[in-house]
Amino acid sequence: MPTSNSEDEDLTEQVSTYTKPAGTTEKITAHREKLTIRPPGPTDISQGKTEKPVQPALACFPTHQIGNRQRSFKASWYTSHSWLEYSVMTDAAYCFCCRNFPQPNKASETAFLSTGYRQWKKATEKDAGFSQVEKSDFHRYSMCTWKDFEEHIARGNTIAKSLTSAHDKTVAENRHYIEEVAKVLCLTARQKIAQRGHHEGPDSMNKGNFLEIMKLISEKDPIIKARLSSKNAKYTSPTIQNEIIGIMAETVLDEITDELYQSTWFSILVDESKDVSGREQLSVVVRYLFDHTLHEEFSGFVRLHELNAEYLKNSICEMLLTCNIDAKNCVGQTYDGASVMSGKNSGVQRLFREEAAPEATYIHCYNHRLNLVIVDVVKSVKIADQFFGLLESIYVFMSSAVLHELFLQKTKQAISGQTTPKA
């Protein structure tokens, strides 16, 4: 809401009557001058305290007629006078410390401070030139201030280097530790053994495969031993383990995707089966030619909630999309001979060609074909047919979760000698 005229007048009066604290303007001005101040003299020599004296070693310095001789600046003077610097622009000598570290409220020779010194005949005389400057109180104070400044910078650099070294050491140890954790997880995953133990407390005799292997490594590796003994950042929890395994899986998939991108064309091998928990899982394998070699790489599992053709086709496309694989580059698809997969009109192979990959030719899996041949051969032998028929019946019976639990209960009762309770 806009203010009234009276409010505007009050605000104007407050601003006009406001006075800054005493000395504020002077402090701001001094601070700005301090930030922008440059030492006197030409611009081709040192322009700040953090620089070094400018000491050019020219092949031939300019000469001037002084008396009856031609005289010039000598580069050898730098050796005995470390504070000395030379300007090519003015052909004159200057004092680095007097220009950059002046003594407050004290006068100095303007020659070495701003205008430049050119009396080369007297430069090295005992009571003139360079010697006369070095004997002055102004120069001595400036020299002391310069050396103190250099020592301060050197100490600061030493501390910074120490901090950097300590940081680099910590980073290297952290990387080494997480690399060993990843190696152990990769080993246990490749060997298909459990990561965790039933009891992982300090008094446990067996803390599981992962921790026991880490403990074994720590006996030879002090970095691993120190980290396992600490209370933080041990990366041994189930959550961290699963995250690291997930990262490694993504890395593998990225490599497969890169190879597929270079080879362009590929085919897929798909099959579904139940896992140990009885859940249907769809496995997807890609087959492609890379670097003159055929590769068959597993890309992952898909949890199935339905087993119709449309759902299975969508699951395959979803898995390829998750792996950043273009389904339109698929030229072959291999499944078993079940009608839901191989159906000519409404099977997965037909739906996949229509929506994702028109060029993907369906091939009945040769392993499934071999299995069908063996089954038919075995059925011709009566005893073998009865034996495998019995095994199949037991499998079907044990696959039911309710019947399986009931079977376990009956088995425990029989082992303990209890009588079967009446229903």
What CATH number has the domain bearing residue 332? 3.30.420.40
Residues 193 and 229 in one domain: yes
Other C-beta atoms closer than 10 Å to the C-beta of 137 total 10
93 lies in some domain: yes
Give CA–CA dist 245/320, Å, rounded.
20
Residues 318 and 212 in one domain: no
pLDDT at 85 over 90: yes
Residues 337 and 409 in one domain: no
Paired sense of beta strands 84-87 and 361-364, if any: unpaired
142 lies in some domain: no
Q: How many domains in the chain?
A: 4
Give CA–CA dist 262/258, Å, rounded.
6
Residues 253 and 361 in one domain: yes
Please tell me the predicted confidence (pLDDT) of residue 22.
52
* Neighbouring-strand partners of residue 280: 274
Residue finishing a domain among 245, 263, 290: 245
pLDDT at 266 over 80: yes
Residues 290 and 341 in one domain: yes
pLDDT at 177 over 60: yes
pLDDT (average), residues 294-314? 88
Residues 257 and 218 in one domain: no
Residues 251 and 366 in one domain: yes
Please tell me the predicted confidence (pLDDT) of residue 86.
94
pLDDT at 37 over 70: no
* Neighbouring-strand partners of residue 361: 332
Write the DSSP string, 106-152. Answer: ----HIIIII-B--TTTTT-TTSHHHHHHHSHHHHHHHHHHHHHHHH
140 lies in some domain: no
Task: Tell me the per-residue pLDDT of 94-116, one tens digit each, with 9 for 90 and over.
Answer: 999 988 888 876 666 678 888 88
Residues 300 and 358 in one domain: yes
> What is the phi/psi pair of residue 166, to 5°?
-65, -40
Question: Cα angle at 51 between 49 and 53, to 5 degrees?
Answer: 100
> What is the phi/psi pair of residue 64, to 5°?
-140, 150
17 lies in some domain: no
Residues 219 and 329 in one domain: no
Residue finishing a domain among 338, 353, 372: 372
407 lies in some domain: yes
Where does the pLDDT of residue 156 fall: very low under 50, low under 70, confident under 90, or very high at 90 and above? Answer: confident
Task: Tell me the per-residue pLDDT of 308-356, one tens digit each, with 9 for 90 and over.
Answer: 899 999 999 988 888 888 888 999 999 988 888 888 888 888 999 888 8
Please tell me the predicted confidence (pLDDT) of residue 26.
56
Provide the domain limits for residue 348.
246-372
Please tell me the predicted confidence (pLDDT) of residue 28.
46
Longest dimension (CA), the chain: 137
391 lies in some domain: yes
Residue finishing a domain among 228, 245, 262: 245
Please tell me the predicted confidence (pLDDT) of residue 404.
66
Higher-confidence position of 68 and 200: 68
3-state secondary structure of 363: strand
To the nearest whole number, what is the mean pLDDT of the chain?
Answer: 82
Residues 81 and 98 in one domain: yes
Please tell me the predicted confidence (pLDDT) of residue 167.
82
146 lies in some domain: no
Query: In 304-410, where do the E strands start and end?
Result: 330-335, 361-364
Question: Could you tell me if 84 and 52 are in contact, meaning their C-beta atoms sit under 8 angstroms apart?
Answer: no
Q: Which residues contact 131 (CB under 8 A, 6 or more apart)?
A: 124, 125
pLDDT (average), residues 267-291? 86
pLDDT at 128 over 70: yes
Q: If you search the block for the tokens 């992962």, which residue do you land on?
A: 210
Please tell me the predicted confidence (pLDDT) of residue 419.
52
Residue 117 DSSP one-character state = B
Residues 273 and 351 in one domain: yes
Question: Percentage of residues in the chain with pLDDT exceeding 90?
Answer: 15
Give CA–CA dist 101/107, Å, rounded.
13
Q: Is 49 exposed, middle or buried (0-12, 13-18, 19+ CB in 10 A)?
A: middle
Give CA–CA dist 181/224, Å, rounded.
9
Question: Could you tell me if 56 and 114 are in contact, meaning their C-beta atoms sit under 8 angstroms apart?
Answer: no
